[in-house]
Amino acid sequence: MNINVTAKTVNLTDTRTSALASIIVTATLGAALLFMAGFAQSATLHDTAHDSRHAIGFPCH
Ligand SMILES: [Zn+2]
């Protein structure tokens, strides 16, 4: 019987790659939300996003 136990190792390259991936995913999601809300055809969706911006104190107009 052969039992192989492999320890999970995290090296610096993996950490940097995952951090960069997190930044890219977050930025993409943020931009997608911003543009989807900004160019939304539905007035309700647009107004909701607009009200949310004011609710969190984000500069709007
Ligand atoms: Zn506004």
Whether 12 is covered by a domain: the verdict is no
- Check residue 36 and give its pLDDT: 74
Q: Are the C-beta atoms of 37 and 46 separated by less than 8 Å?
A: yes
Task: Supply the range of the domain harboring residue 45.
Answer: 35-61
Whether 43 is covered by a domain: the verdict is yes
Tell whether the model's pLDDT for residue 7 goes beyond 70: no
Structurally, the chain folds into a number of domains equal to 1
Whether 11 is covered by a domain: the verdict is no
Whole-number Å distance, alpha carbon 17 to ligand 1 midpoint, is: 37
Whole-number Å distance, alpha carbon 44 to ligand 1 midpoint, is: 14
Q: Model confidence over 8-58: pLDDT tens digits?
A: 665 666 778 888 999 999 999 988 887 776 676 777 777 888 888 899 998
Whether 56 is covered by a domain: the verdict is yes
pTM, entire model:
0.40
SS (H, E, C) the chain: CCCCCCCCCCCHHHHHHHHHHHHHHHHHHHHHHHHHHHCCCCHHHHHHHHHHHHHCCCCCC
Whether 27 is covered by a domain: the verdict is no
Name the CA dihedral angle for 41, 53, 51, 28, rounded to a multiple of 10 degrees: 30
Could you tell me which residue, 15 or 7, shows the higher pLDDT?
15
Whether 20 is covered by a domain: the verdict is no
- Check residue 6 and give its pLDDT: 67
